[in-house]
């Protein structure tokens, strides 16, 4: 009966559809839409999250009204101005009911993350992204989803990327030091109240690089000069730790396990800033393949953020020519040489193109070593891994 | 029959980066390097003249150059033509016409644009000119790309081929066709050569050599190098037809050692390998020509001597009939006459005392100037210490 009445009122199919679609309640994720100013302190973030969650709950429970969450998305390659607004509807209606199920998932990820933040933030402890991911694998499916949606929350709340919300990436970098290293980190307890926290990298055993803020200060507890050796792989790191006596005295070993995380790079940058008078040398060793070159380059110069770039790092190998030389030396371990595949070739070619793209020739380029190594790997069409390389290679001559 | 080669000239620090390839024609020795320069070295030097005083450089591409070949012919109406083709690490193919100014004898590089926009999208690797002695047949250019395709072009220097009185210089490259690699995934085509008898040999990264017919561009047969089943490090480094075209010499890796295998071209039969006795403990299949990779091969004009360049810093000369080594030339960084030009250590800090040889080319009698040059063959090679060395056969017939 009601339908008939509606049909009389709305003659066309379009109008009828419109009349039958329930009105939705819009919830803006970004606080700026209503109140000016960013959500600076934890308390503000908390209250804002509470507001969003209660709005959503009220709408669904009390008013039986669908909600749509509206948030801004970062646009790639465009730092300011253009923001792209995205809408997530819950529940789905109309023709999208069966085709847009994935949108429902996004909505639940977002609401879940907000809830997790709301629970964890008042505790004042750091939580890792990995822990959050494993708390509900079924929902998040991939760890990248957690990262992505945390970024959305941070962007909309105008928070600094990576460090806010007390959620941090799990540390990846390992360090082994013969002497203690202290990290002095100032932590905001409340507004205008700081507390200096001291973390120690204990000597003589490998440990994770501790988490610290941008403003932290690092002190090396040594009087003599030290030598920093960065290696690409954990396997080589462990091998060097167990053959530590074959290395130079006072060597600090660091590995970022493949491409380094921001924390490892920040740690090195801090070492360069705070302790350069105590560091005699800093070298990096990676696999003799285009990825190795790319990883070494990542420590020294990555376009992402100049404040992480660490020019004191010297790319010292392992070069394909060194591996050949070791293979041809009688009595030394044999390292398997592999052919470059098309993917390796493209990467190496792109590396050469981008490294030589800054106008100056190879002669004056600060990345001459990298360019030459790239060219040789391409020319010989060979790559090799550093696992079986002689420990003596890591000694300073 | 013993042959002795004596050093006639050398140029240390000829380029700022590795010199990957060298070629020669009557007038010039031509080198190309990772520093992006193409350099011409005058073959006709006076006694005690430094080769560097008569060298001419042209900057080609900032990613560096890795292969170069030259075509020097005299066309109808005594039209002298000297064309250089070179490939860069970015995969581009460049052409230059070399001329000399009438009075000052200054060398002029004229850049030619011979490829269509579509063709420029390919990443070219090795290349080879094939001069035709018959006026009715065109010269040819063969190049390989990184996906394993071989391209064959016909080269026409003049606009009108019908025999008008004065030829109009208008160079055109006309694609004759392509030979697609039979392998999946695509293999890198590392080297290419063409024989007097109209055969094309393309060497691949995975150890295969494909022989095709020039007239039909039909693949005839494949050679698999003898080690291909045993290990995966057997890239073909060089393929070289003997001047009469009856033999094909293939240089390929066996892990970090280098082998040379000879095939006859009519039926594709393997007729032996060139090897020296080794005392290597790492492999039981010890049939090596060099104790490191063989980077390049070159036949002399008569085809009875083959010269192989090794990464072990040696040039070895082989008698093709007996398949025995005639003589060995050992490279040493101290060979360079001018002391400032000696490069004993590269920028990585590795010793260049016995620099690996990148490329070697035989030069015909009369190409170089100097005592006995008309009676003896010469030879030029480029080494890892960024030097070019010229040798000539002692004695003469």
The answer to whether A174 and A207 are in contact (CB under 8 A) is yes
The sign of the CA dihedral B316, B320, B325, B326 is negative
Query: What's the pLDDT at A397?
Result: 67
Query: What's the pLDDT at B59?
Result: 92
Q: What is the DSSP string of A4-32?
A: HHHHHH--SHHHHHHHHSPP-EEEESSGG
Residues of chain B contacting residue A374, judged by C-beta atoms under 8 Å apart? 89
The answer to whether A362 and A263 are in contact (CB under 8 A) is no
Pick from B59, B256, B356: which is nearest to A327 by CB? B256
CA distance B371 to B339: 25
Chain centre distance of CA A238: 24
The answer to whether B211 and B223 are in contact (CB under 8 A) is yes
Which of A373, A378, A385, A395 is the best mutation test for B, with the most CBs of B within 10 A?
Answer: A378
Pairing of strands A279-285, A314-317: parallel
Query: What's the pLDDT at B39?
Result: 93
Q: How confident is the model over A88-98, as pLDDT tens digits?
A: 777 777 667 77
Query: What's the pLDDT at B308?
Result: 94
Residues of chain B contacting residue A316, judged by C-beta atoms under 8 Å apart? 348-349
Complex ipTM? 0.92
Give B61→chain A minimum CA distance, Å.
Answer: 9
Quote the Cα angle for A39-A45-A50, to 5°: 135
Which of A365, A372, A393 is the best mutation test for B, with the most CBs of B within 10 A?
Answer: A372
Average pLDDT in the A323-344 region? Answer: 83
Pick from B20, B312, B350: which is nearest to A379 by CB? B20
- Chain A and chain B share a number of CB contacts under 8 A equal to 123
Chain centre distance of CA A259: 10
A321 close to B (CB below 8 A): yes
Whose tokens are 């790239």? That residue is A374
φ/ψ of A156, rounded to 5, equals: -75, -30
Query: What's the pLDDT at A36?
Result: 46
Domain extents in chain A:
22-29+42-73+83-168, 174-394
Pick from B64, B188, B282: which is nearest to A352 by CB? B64
Are B350 and A325 within 8 A, CB to CB? Answer: yes
Query: What's the pLDDT at A53?
Result: 86
Residues of chain B contacting residue A379, judged by C-beta atoms under 8 Å apart? 18, 20, 66
Give B234→chain A minimum CA distance, Å.
Answer: 9
pLDDT higher for A335 or B331?
B331
Q: How confident is the model over A157-192, as pLDDT tens digits?
A: 877 766 677 788 888 889 998 888 888 887 665 556
Query: What's the pLDDT at A33?
Result: 47
3-state secondary structure A382-395: EEECCCCCCHHHHC
Query: What's the pLDDT at B98?
Result: 92
Q: Is CATH 3.60.20.10 the classification given to domain A174-394?
A: no
Q: In terms of CA atoms, which chain B residue is nearest residue A383?
A: B233
Q: How confident is the model over A54-89, as pLDDT tens digits?
A: 888 888 888 888 888 888 877 665 555 566 777 777
Pick from A369, A375, A397: which is nearest to B64 by CB? A375
Residues of chain B contacting residue A338, judged by C-beta atoms under 8 Å apart? 232-233
Q: How confident is the model over A238-283, as pLDDT tens digits?
A: 999 988 888 888 889 999 888 888 888 888 888 888 888 888 888 9
A255: nearest Cα among A297, A299, A224: A299
Q: How confident is the model at residue A125 (pLDDT cuts 50, 70, 90)?
A: confident
Are A337 and B282 within 8 A, CB to CB? Answer: no
Average pLDDT in the A301-307 region? Answer: 70
DSSP state of B6: E
Q: Note down pLDDT in tens along chain B; length 397 residues.
A: 567 888 988 999 999 899 999 999 998 999 999 999 999 999 988 878 888 888 999 999 989 999 999 999 888 778 888 999 999 999 999 999 999 888 778 889 999 998 888 989 999 999 999 988 887 788 999 999 998 999 999 998 887 656 556 667 888 889 999 999 877 778 889 999 999 888 999 999 888 889 999 999 999 888 876 544 455 557 899 999 999 889 999 998 887 888 898 998 888 888 888 888 766 555 555 678 888 899 999 999 998 999 999 999 999 999 999 888 989 999 998 888 888 888 888 877 788 888 999 999 999 988 888 877 788 889 999 999 999 999 988 875 5
Number of Cβ within a 10 Å radius of residue A79? 7
Catalytic residue positions of A, numbered: 134
A325 close to B (CB below 8 A): yes
The answer to whether B18 and B30 are in contact (CB under 8 A) is no
């Amino acid at each position: 009966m009601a339908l008939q009445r509606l049909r009389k009122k709305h003659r066309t199919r379009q109008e009828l559809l419109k009349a039958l679609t329930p009105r939705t309640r819009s919830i803006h994720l970004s606080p700026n839409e209503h109140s000016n100013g960013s959500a600076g302190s934890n308390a503000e973030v908390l209250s804002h999250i509470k507001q969003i969650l209660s709005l959503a709950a009220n709408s669904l429970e009390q008013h039986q009204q669908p909600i749509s969450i509206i948030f801004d998305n970062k646009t790639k390659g465009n730092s300011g101005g253009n923001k792209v607004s995205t809408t997530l509807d819950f529940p789905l209606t109309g023709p999208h009911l069966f085709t847009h199920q994935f949108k429902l998932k996004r909505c639940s990820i977002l609401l879940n993350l907000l809830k997790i933040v709301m629970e964890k933030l008042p505790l004042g402890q750091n939580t890792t992204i990995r822990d959050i991911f494993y708390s509900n694998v079924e929902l998040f499916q991939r760890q990248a989803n957690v990262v992505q949606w945390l970024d959305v929350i941070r962007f909309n709340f105008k928070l600094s990327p990576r460090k806010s919300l007390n959620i941090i990436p799990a540390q990846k970098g390992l360090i082994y030091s013969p002497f203690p290293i202290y990290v002095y980190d100032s932590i905001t307890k409340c507004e205008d109240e700081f507390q200096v926290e001291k973390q120690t990298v204990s000597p003589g055993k490998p440990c994770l690089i501790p988490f610290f803020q941008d403003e932290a200060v690092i002190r090396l507890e040594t009087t003599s000069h030290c030598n920093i050796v960065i290696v690409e792989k954990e396997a080589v790191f462990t091998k060097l730790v167990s053959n530590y006596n074959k290395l130079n005295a006072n060597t600090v070993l660091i590995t970022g396990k493949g491409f380094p995380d921001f924390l490892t790079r920040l740690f090195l940058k801090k070492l360069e800033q705070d302790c350069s008078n105590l560091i005699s040398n800093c070298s990096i060793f990676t696999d003799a393949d285009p990825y190795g070159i790319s990883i070494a380059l990542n420590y020294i110069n990555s376009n992402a953020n100049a404040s992480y770039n660490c020019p004191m790092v010297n790319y010292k190998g392992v070069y394909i020519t060194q591996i050949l030389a070791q293979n041809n030396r009688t009595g030394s371990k044999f390292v398997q040489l592999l052919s470059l595949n098309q993917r390796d070739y493209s990467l190496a070619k792109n590396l050469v193109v981008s490294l030589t793209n800054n106008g100056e020739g190879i002669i004056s380029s600060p990345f001459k070593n990298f360019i030459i190594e790239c060219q040789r790997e391409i020319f010989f069409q060979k790559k090799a891994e550093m696992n079986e390389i002689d420990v003596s290679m890591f000694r300073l001559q | 029959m013993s042959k002795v080669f004596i050093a006639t000239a050398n140029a240390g620090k000829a380029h700022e980066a590795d010199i990957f390839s060298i070629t020669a024609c009557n007038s010039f020795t031509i080198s190309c390097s990772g520093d992006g320069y193409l350099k011409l070295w005058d073959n006709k030097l006076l006694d005690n003249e430094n080769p560097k005083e008569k060298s001419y450089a042209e900057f080609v591409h900032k990613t560096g150059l890795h292969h170069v070949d030259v075509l020097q012919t005299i066309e109808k109406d005594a039209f002298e033509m000297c064309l250089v083709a070179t490939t860069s690490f970015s995969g581009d193919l460049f052409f230059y016409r070399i001329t000399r100014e009438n009075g000052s004898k200054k060398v002029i590089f004229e850049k030619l644009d011979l490829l269509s926009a579509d063709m420029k999208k390919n990443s070219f690797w090795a290349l080879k000119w094939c001069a035709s002695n018959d006026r009715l047949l065109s010269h040819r250019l063969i190049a390989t790309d990184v996906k394993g395709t071989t391209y064959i072009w016909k080269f026409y220097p003049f606009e009108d081929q019908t025999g008008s009185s004065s030829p109009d210089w208008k160079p055109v490259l006309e694609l004759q066709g392509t030979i697609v690699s039979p392998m999946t995934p695509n293999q890198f085509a590392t080297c290419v050569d063409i024989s007097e008898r109209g055969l094309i040999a393309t060497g691949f990264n995975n150890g295969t050599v494909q022989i095709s017919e020039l007239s039909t561009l039909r693949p005839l047969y494949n050679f698999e190098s003898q080690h291909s089943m045993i290990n995966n490090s057997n890239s073909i480094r060089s393929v070289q037809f003997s001047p009469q075209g009856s033999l094909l010499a293939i240089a390929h890796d066996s892990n970090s050692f280098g082998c040379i295998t000879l095939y006859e071209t009519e039926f594709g039969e393997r007729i032996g390998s060139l090897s020296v006795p080794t005392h290597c403990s790492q492999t039981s299949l010890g049939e090596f020509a060099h104790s490191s990779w063989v980077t390049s091969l070159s036949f002399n004009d008569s085809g009875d001597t083959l010269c192989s360049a090794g990464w072990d810093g040696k040039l070895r000369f082989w008698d093709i009939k007996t398949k025995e080594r005639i003589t060995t030339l050992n490279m040493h960084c101290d060979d360079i006459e001018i002391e400032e030009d000696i490069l004993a250590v590269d920028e990585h800090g590795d010793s260049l005392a016995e620099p690996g040889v990148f490329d070697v080319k035989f030069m015909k009698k009369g190409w170089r100037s100097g005592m006995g040059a008309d009676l003896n063959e010469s030879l030029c090679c480029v080494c890892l210490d960024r030097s070019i060395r010229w040798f000539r056969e002692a004695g003469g017939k």
